[in-house]
Amino acid sequence: MRDDKKQVNGSYGDIIGEDIARVEQYIRSNLVSKQKILESALKELVEAGGKRLRPALVLLSGKFGKYQAKKLIPMAAAIEILHTATLVHDDIIDEAKTRRGMPTVQTRWGKDIAVFTGDFLFTKAFLLLTSSTAFENLQRLSRVIKAICEGEVEQYQYRYDKNVTVRQYLKRIGRKTALLFALSCFIGAHESGCSRDAIRSLGKFGFNFGMAFQITDDLLDFTGDPAKTGKPVGRDFVQGVYTLPLIYTLNSPDFRDETAILLDKQGYEPADVDRIVELVHLSGGIDYSRRLASRYLKRAITCIKTLPPNPARTALEDLVKGLMDRNH
């Protein structure tokens, strides 16, 4: 929740701050259950907060058309609930102990309850969307969920694979992350009656922003402060999930052999993790990843420039700038 307030007070608080608060309340009022364990799990998920970027993109995109808060708020809430469902299931697969500095659902109640909680969230998201959006958008949402699932399976399939390519990585994060950002923008614009060109530009913006967002997030596995990220440095590659900085290192002739030897060890000592992180820095994997993230952000800016100037466009530009600053 603290992250949300920072976001609202910064990039877009004056434009959609009140409606983001209404989205938050809408999420709280809909994530309820008569089943006590499920109710407790849902409450903790809501209390854990988050950046709420996806609902913000729904609302900001709506500002380029006939903005109707009453119509967009349920959709924005549903997109965030859907995103939360994917995180719950993702934590099961990764056997993650914490999320946003708090115990994951599976840590608190076990994998069975975590699966049921994720399924409940998916169902709730669809219930909200069926009553608030066009049928064609439900079809788009279904395709995005299908792609997210395929991305998750692909990530699992390539665990511990030292030959995974940059192209495979980009395809994976496109499915796992960028498509839902794109859909958030598309739905907000479509339901607000934006022009076809505006809808197309906003969808492309969302995809490119989402790609940069995920690359930047993956960098934290090598550069982040565990006290802030809520997870230890190196957690991804220790679990066999090789992200862009490490993939680049494994493709660097001067660094591949030592990195591969360390990754092949049966158990990692703290010194091994530190050395892998060091090799990623030395190989240029961090700098390469930052440059690629910046490239996607520049594409996002290009998409924004095709939109009519208004406070929402400025807010989108500020979001890009914020991610650029975070990337450096």
Return the pLDDT at 10.
52
Q: Where are the domains of the chain?
A: 2-327
How far is residue 110's CA from residue 108's CA, in Å, rounded to a whole number? 6
Select from 116, 113, 43, 55 the least CA-distant residue to 80.
55
Q: Low-confidence residues of the chain, pLDDT below 50? A: 1-9
Return the pLDDT at 266.
81
Select from 274, 268, 288 the least CA-distant residue to 233.
274
CA angle 92, 93, 95 (to 5 degrees): 60
CATH of 2-327, one of 3.40.50.300, 3.30.70.270, 1.10.600.10, 1.20.1060.10: 1.10.600.10
**pLDDT digit string, tens, across residues 67-126:** 999 999 999 999 999 999 999 988 888 777 878 778 889 898 888 999 999 999 989 988
Q: How would you classify residue 308: left for phi > 0, otherwise alpha for psi between -120 and 50, otherwise beta?
A: beta
pTM over 0.75? The answer is yes
Select from 236, 221, 216, 205 the least CA-distant residue to 291.
216
Amino acid letter, residue 66: K
How far is residue 217's CA from residue 167's CA, in Å, rounded to a whole number? 18
Return the pLDDT at 3.
40
Element (H, E) at 100: none
> Under DSSP, is residue 310 helix (H, G, I), strand (E, B) or coil?
coil
Q: For residues 124 and 32, is the Cβ–Cβ distance under 8 A?
A: no
Amino acid letter, residue 218: D
Return the pLDDT at 11.
64
